[in-house]
Amino acid sequence: MLMAVAAGLAAGAEQFPSVSGTTLTGAAVTLPDAGKGHPTVIIVGFTHGSQSQTDPWARKLDGVLDYYSIAVIEDAPRLVRGMILSGLKGSVPKERHTRVLTVTKGEKELKAAVGFERGDDAYIVLLNGDGAIQWRHHGAPDDGAVAELKALAGAGR
pTM: 0.88
Preceding amide of 32 cis, omega within 30: yes
pLDDT of residue 154: 86
Spatial CB neighbours of 52, under 8 Å, sequence gap ≥ 6? 120, 140
pLDDT, one tens digit per residue, over 96-148 is 999 999 999 999 999 999 999 998 999 999 999 999 999 999 999 999 999 99
Domains parsed from the chain with CATH numbers: 2-155 (3.40.30.10)
2-12 and 143-155 helices cross at what angle (nearest 10)? 30
User: Can you give the pLDDT at residue 13?
Assistant: 76
Residue 6 has pLDDT above 80, yes or no: no
pLDDT surpasses 50 at 26: yes
Average pLDDT, the chain: 90
